[in-house]
Structure 1
Amino acid sequence: MTAGEIDHKTAPTLYVDGDVIAFVAASAVQKTYEDDFGYVWPFANIMEGQVAVDNMLFLLKRRLQSEVMWVYLSDPEANWRMHVEPTYKDNRKTSVRPMLLGRMKQYLRDRYKATHVPGLEADDCLGIAATEDPSAIVVGRDKDFLSFPGRYHKLKDMDGNGKPIITTTTLEQANRMHMIQALAGDRIDGYYGCPGIGPERAARIIDNPVILKPEEGVITRGKNKGQKTTKWVAEPTEDVWACIVSHYRKEGLDEGVALKNARMARILRHGDLADDGKIKLWEPPNALAGGQHVVQA
């Protein structure tokens, strides 16, 4: 096989985050013009944006040695996470987006047959695809891709030899990342996790889980002598979910808040979406019996 040829027996299927492709292309070709009166005007050429999309997808197929590529977009009308938390991504509504973003998404639909699944984000479509076909490669640039098992190429991430870097995430690593995000939340997406715990601290907690238990006591010295106090004592555990819940409780929040954050952080996997469009929400290990919780996508 000569350089540049594709081995048809081993060629992976690519699943591409079309939202990212459209955003990167639209941003790359947007320019500004300053007129003689001091006004600065943004402008962009549609054909330049289309060429940028074509180039990115062509290079992806060539560099990742693939012939088959599926492009997914987020459903523009509905999002299942808003059934879990109505304020999801509210903070993005006022953000400025590149002028051609909508046109580039439509170009992906027209030229590359890009599609969406009702109620799902592109991330969810890729998570389902990656866990259904472990040989596939998902392409995007979202850190959330590390929270489902599979192979992932971060767009334009190349090694020193100019070859694309492909990261393989195991089931254990993916579940760990999901628990980290359940504890830390994601302020960019509008769910905030446990107060005072960011991603780095969350990772340390998940890697060394403890259950925090309150112990009542009395202050024995100082100006507050005699007043009741609560001290939270850490006990080692192997139950990561109990660890997470105890940290929420220390901050005055119940398990329901912890569960909501865990569900928001969950990128869907194979089996999470039923044929009727209902989504099986994530449940903690050893959850009490009572039927699966579902939402309509």
Structure 2
Amino acid sequence: MYSKLPIIDGDILCYRVGFACNEETEAVAIKTMAELLEELVFIDLSSDDCVGYLTGSNNFRYDIAKTQPYKGNRKDAPRPIHLHRLREYLHTAWDFRVVDGQEADDAIGIHATSLRDRSVIVTIDKDLDMIPGHHYNPVKKESYYIDDKEAIKNFYRQILTGDKVDNIEGLRGIGPKKADKILAEADTEMKMYEAVLKAYDNNQERVIENGQLLWIRRKDDEIWQPPTQ
């Protein structure tokens, strides 16, 4: 069996299966989810166990966002018809944990950090690439490994680019390629932070706001702060 515990992003699964089954019955949607998970856990990852997380109510990021409302662009976004039932199924049939006050990503980051190389993060969400360790993309069926330096660079890259999905505004005109150029010479976290701060014209308040919104927790109740050395 697979020696690493799969830690699964339940939010992504519910939306992907939900939208794919929008014109199907609830029973078909549940059956599709069951078959997907069985193949993912037992066949693709050769595991006999898994843990999964779903985002619940409230989120500390809503209080941090000052420049723009966090996820403020999602108010009218369509949701899958069977979303609630799919979440309920994952919670009751697969014991996925519903987390309040933070996002499923945070719970995944905390759990994966505690296990490190004894776990594998299962998601298509590239945001979780700021968490070091083993990763698996269930759509591409690709495994990859993120080391500590790559993980922290992924985080600072996101501060530069922002996250349109979550309504986090980065620097205008800065995409991943330009962000990589800004960070190219930075070989420590302090240098990465200094490069990002310079790109923001030393607007520390904006850098900290974006950093705290984007940072995926590695321990309970963690709020990101700039490095001191």
Q: TM-score, length-normalised on structure 2?
A: 0.91
2:153–2:192 Cα contact (<8 Å) kept: no
Q: Give 1:259 deviation, angstroms.
A: 1.0
Matched, 1:167 2:144: yes
1:11–1:67 Cα contact (<8 Å) kept: no
Q: Quick one: distance in 2 between partners of 1:133 and 1:99?
A: 35
Q: Give 1:50 deviation, angstroms.
A: 0.5
Q: Quick one: distance in 1 between partners of 2:144 and 2:102?
A: 24
Q: Quick one: distance in 2 between partners of 1:11 and 1:177?
A: 26
**Residue type matched to 1:59 in 2?**
E
Q: 2:79 is matched with which residue?
A: 97
2:30–2:86 Cα contact (<8 Å) kept: yes
Q: 2:59 is matched with which residue?
A: 79
Matched, 1:286 2:223: no
Q: 2:91 is matched with which residue?
A: 109
Q: Quick one: distance in 1 between partners of 2:38 and 2:92?
A: 16
Q: 1:239 is matched with which residue?
A: 191
Matched, 1:204 2:181: yes
Q: Give 1:166 deviation, angstroms.
A: 1.1
**Residue type matched to 1:29 in 2?**
C
1:15–1:126 Cα contact (<8 Å) kept: yes
Higher helix share: 2
Q: 1:195 is matched with which residue?
A: 172
1:85–1:260 Cα contact (<8 Å) kept: yes
Pick aligned residue for 1:256 from 205, 214, 221 = 205
Matches within 5 A, 1:138-177: 138-158=121-141, 165-177=142-154
1:183–1:262 Cα contact (<8 Å) kept: no
Secondary structure class of the residue paired with 2:35: helix
Residues 195-245 of structure 1, C-alpha deviation per residue, up to 9 Å, x if partnerless?
332222111111135xxxxxxxxxxxxxxxxxxxxxxxxxxxx72212211
Matches within 5 A, 1:114-133: 114-133=96-115
Residues 28-63 of structure 1, C-alpha deviation per residue, up to 9 Å, x if partnerless?
2222xxxxxxxxxxxx30110111110111011121
Q: Which runs of 4+ in 1 moved over 3 A?
A: none
Q: Give 1:89 deviation, angstroms.
A: 0.6
2:91–2:98 Cα contact (<8 Å) kept: no
Unaligned runs of 5+ in 2: none
Aligned-residue RMSD, C-alpha = 1.6
Residues 125-164 of structure 1, C-alpha deviation per residue, up to 9 Å, x if partnerless?
1111111112211111101111110111112213xxxxxx
Tell me which of the two structures has the higher relative contact order, counting C-alpha pairs closer than 8 angstroms and 6 or more residues apart: 2
Q: 2:10 is matched with which residue?
A: 18
Q: Quick one: distance in 1 between partners of 2:180 and 2:165?
A: 18
Q: Give 1:176 deviation, angstroms.
A: 0.5
Aligned length: 222
1:185–1:192 Cα contact (<8 Å) kept: yes
Secondary structure class of the residue paired with 2:7: strand
1:263–1:282 Cα contact (<8 Å) kept: yes
Q: Quick one: distance in 1 between partners of 2:3 and 2:174?
A: 42
2:10–2:54 Cα contact (<8 Å) kept: yes
2:130–2:155 Cα contact (<8 Å) kept: yes
Residues 242-278 of structure 1, C-alpha deviation per residue, up to 9 Å, x if partnerless?
22112111xxx72111111111111111x3x1xxxxx
